[in-house]
Homo-oligomer: A and B are copies of this chain.
Amino acid sequence: MLFAEHGFDAVSMRDITALAKVNLASVNYHFGSKRALLAEVVGSRAHLLVEERLRLLSALRRDKNGRPKLEDVIEAFLRPSLEMSRQPGGADHMRLRARLGVERVGESKAQFEQIFDASNEKIIDALAEALPDHPRAEIYWGFHCLLGIQNYTMANSGRIQHLSRGACDPTDVEATLARIVPFVANGFRALKRKRAAPRPRR
């Protein structure tokens, strides 16, 4: 998909219509504008992804104290994102989301990001349950790191493939999950109870 490859602004309606063999005016008739086309393209898949996340979340196993396992929470968050690459057009959707992910939240993006707000909060809640000794603020930091890893993985820029000469391939869903999940889980554990942590402020 062209938006994913080149970014919204670099791709013209004529590029799109030529590739899709549809008429320029028809696209405008049906979607109203280029911007609305993007919202449709992105929004429909995002809703599906959120549903799958919430499904995995509600199916989490709990220990006798009612706590989910940290690794399971992280996987519930990541797996729907990564597995999207297995659907038709899914890899492109992921890359488009990665582009949007590094943009500043603004009017054009607010609608899109809101799709994830509620489910993100639920993931953070589950993380907090799995890490009862961690203050909420630390959970947010860990989540920031998790978002960064997810976003970069979805972008699939080719960077780490290049650096590792192919030894490391983020498009391999299972291999990627097998690395990121423990990485992030252990990362979260490093954040625990840092009440005495120095916080110099400039």
Residues on B with C-beta less than 8 A from A157 are 101-105
Residues on B with C-beta less than 8 A from A52 are none
Q: In angstroms, how far is the closest chain B Cβ from the Cβ of A88?
A: 15
Count of chain A residues near B, Cβ 8 A: 72
Q: Does residue A138 face the partner (Cβ distance < 8 Å to B)?
A: yes
Q: Does residue A179 face the partner (Cβ distance < 8 Å to B)?
A: yes
Residues on B with C-beta less than 8 A from A199 are 174-175, 178
Known: A105-B162, A148-B148, A175-B199. A136 touches B191 (CB 8 A): no
Q: Does residue A150 face the partner (Cβ distance < 8 Å to B)?
A: yes
Residues on B with C-beta less than 8 A from A202 are 86, 172-174
Known: A147-B152, A147-B159, A163-B124. A141 touches B105 (CB 8 A): no
With beta carbons under 8 angstroms apart, the residue of B95, B150, B172 that contacts A148 is B150
Q: Does residue A168 face the partner (Cβ distance < 8 Å to B)?
A: yes
The chain B residue with its CB closest to the CB of A188 is: B183
CA of A198 to CA of B182, assembled, Å: 13
Q: Does residue A130 face the partner (Cβ distance < 8 Å to B)?
A: no
Which of the 9-residue segments A2-10, A22-30, A39-47, A54-62 touches chain B? A2-10
A-to-B contact residues, CB < 8 Å? 5-10, 86, 95, 98-99, 101-105, 113, 117, 120-121, 124, 136-138, 140-145, 147-153, 155-160, 162-164, 167-168, 170, 172-175, 178-180, 182-191, 194, 197-202
6 intermolecular pairs with C-beta atoms under 8 Å apart: A105-B159, A140-B163, A142-B179, A147-B160, A174-B200, A183-B188
**Given A141-B179, A143-B163, 8 other A-B residues pairs in contact with their CB atoms under 8 A:** A101-B159, A105-B157, A105-B162, A113-B162, A174-B200, A175-B199, A178-B199, A186-B186
